[in-house]
Amino acid sequence: MSDEHHQSDANSHGGPIDWREHGVKIIPGDSLDPNTAQTPGMNRAAAIDRARAGAEKIWAGTVVIRANAKTGAHHHGDLESIIYVVKGRARMRWGEKLEYVAEAGPGDFIFVPPFVPHQEINASPDQALECVVVRSGQEPVVVNLDIEPVEKPEGVLWKDPIHR
């Protein structure tokens, strides 16, 4: 492999980088940190952040919502969020009055743009909803909202604008 494909092995001070200390980090699933911003109805746990892994630009963790439960309405400021559904069925409501709704199942990805008021609902009456969450910013920003939702939200089927 040519030198142009190798990243420099010197740090900003000109010395060699300690890749053992500043390389790949493995965070075991049983050692996630629940001491992070929370929203009523869900349990968040941090996996990747500055303190645990040295991350500067992203935050990642897990979310568990018990069977037949829902979160309070909230948004994540100017951060973009990606939710990957591992187990269960996620019903997402969003909008000023949570007037839109869509569902996602195992293997599905959900994208939540900045400042979008939303609510996660576990659509299963008897199975926990388990998800992985990744955010574009390092801090786990959560702004809990007091929203009176509309009675019947409008169902939205997402269509890929590239492959319509």
- Provide mean pLDDT across the span 53-76: 91
Contact 85, 111 (CB under 8 A): no
pLDDT number for residue 37: 76
pLDDT number for residue 116: 96
Is residue 2 predicted with pLDDT exceeding 60? no
pLDDT number for residue 4: 44
Quick one: 41-146 is in which CATH superfamily? Jelly Rolls (2.60.120.10)
- Provide mean pLDDT across the span 132-147: 88
139/95: higher pLDDT: 95
| Dist. CA 129–CA 23, nearest whole Å | 32
Domain boundaries defined on the chain:
41-146
Q: Write the pLDDT tens digit of every residue in 105-131.
A: 999 999 999 999 999 999 999 999 999
Helix, strand, coil shares, percent, the chain, to 5 = 10, 35, 55
DSSP assigned state of 33: B
Question: Which ranges constitute the DSSP H helices of the chain?
Answer: 19-22, 50-53
Q: Write the pLDDT tens digit of every residue in 29-59.
A: 888 888 787 777 788 888 888 888 888 899 9
| Dist. CA 62–CA 54, nearest whole Å | 18
